[in-house]
Amino acid sequence: MKDRNIVSLEHFIEAARDAGYTNIATALAELIDNAFEAQAMSVRIEFEISEDQELSVLIGDDGCGMAPTVLELALQFGGTTRFNSRTGAGRYGMGLPNGSLSQARRVEVVTWRNRRTVWKSYLDVDEIVSGELKSIPKSMRVGISYANTESGTVVIWKKCDRINFKNKRIFLTRIRKTLGRLFRKHLWAGKEIIVGGEKVVPVDPLFLRTNDSENAAPFGSEVEYEIAVPGIQNLTSKVTVKFVELPIERWHSLSNEQKQSMGISKGAGTSIIRAGREIDSGWFFMGKKRKENYDDWWRCEICFEPELDEIFGVTNTKQGIRVHQSRSVSEPR
Tens of pLDDT, residues 88-146: 555 555 789 999 999 999 999 999 999 999 999 999 999 999 999 999 999 999 998 88
Q: Classify residue 198 as exposed, middle or buried by CB count within 10 Å of its CB (0-12, 13-18, 19+).
A: exposed
Lowest-confidence range among 75-79, 119-123, 276-280?
A: 75-79
Instruction: Report the pLDDT value the prediction gives residue 18, as an integer from 0 to 100.
Output: 82
Residue 328 lies in a domain: no
Calpha distance 84→87 (Å, rounded): 9
Q: What residue type is assigned to position 127 of the chain? A: E
Instruction: Report the pLDDT value the prediction gives residue 106, as an integer from 0 to 100.
Output: 97
Domain that holds residue 242: 217-312
Calpha distance 275→305 (Å, rounded): 5
Residue 226: strand pairing partners = 238
Mean pLDDT of 205-229: 88
Total domain count, the chain:
2
- Do 26 and 77 fall within a single domain? yes
Residue 323 lies in a domain: no
Mean pLDDT of 38-50: 96
Instruction: Report the pLDDT value the prediction gives residue 22, as an integer from 0 to 100.
Output: 85
Tens of pLDDT, residues 289-323: 666 778 889 999 999 999 999 999 998 788 889 87
- pTM for the model: 0.90
- Do 237 and 274 fall within a single domain? yes
- Do 34 and 134 fall within a single domain? yes
- Do 252 and 293 fall within a single domain? yes
Residue 324 lies in a domain: no
Residue 241 lies in a domain: yes
Instruction: Report the pLDDT value the prediction gives residue 202, as an integer from 0 to 100.
Output: 96
Mean pLDDT for all residues in the chain? 88
Residue 209 lies in a domain: no
- Do 19 and 115 fall within a single domain? yes
Closest CA to 169 of 202, 196, 192, 201: 196
Calpha distance 100→77 (Å, rounded): 11
Say if CB 308 and CB 329 are below 8 A apart.
no
Residue 235 lies in a domain: yes
- Do 75 and 41 fall within a single domain? yes
Lowest-confidence range among 12-21, 41-50, 267-276?
A: 12-21
- Cα 312 to Cα 277, 287, 299: the distances in Å are 14, 15, 19
Calpha distance 294→296 (Å, rounded): 5
Highest mean pLDDT among 8-12, 240-244, 288-292: 240-244
- Do 73 and 193 fall within a single domain? yes
In CATH, what number is assigned to the domain containing residue 130?
Answer: 3.30.565.10
- Do 42 and 168 fall within a single domain? yes
- Do 254 and 195 fall within a single domain? no
Q: Are strands 236-245 and 152-158 parallel, antiparallel or unpaired?
A: unpaired
When pLDDT is cut at 50, 70 and 90, the band that residue 87 belongs to is low
Say yes or no to pLDDT of 219 above 90: yes
- Cα 20 to Cα 7, 86, 284, 319: the distances in Å are 20, 23, 20, 9
- Do 248 and 274 fall within a single domain? yes
When pLDDT is cut at 50, 70 and 90, the band that residue 85 belongs to is low
Say yes or no to pLDDT of 210 above 90: no
- Do 81 and 46 fall within a single domain? yes
Q: End of a domain among 199, 232, 257?
A: 199
Instruction: Report the pLDDT value the prediction gives residue 80, as an integer from 0 to 100.
Output: 61
- Do 141 and 56 fall within a single domain? yes
Mean pLDDT of 47-73: 95
Say yes or no to pLDDT of 86 above 50: no
- Continuous segment of H or E residues that includes residue 252: none
Residue 194 lies in a domain: yes
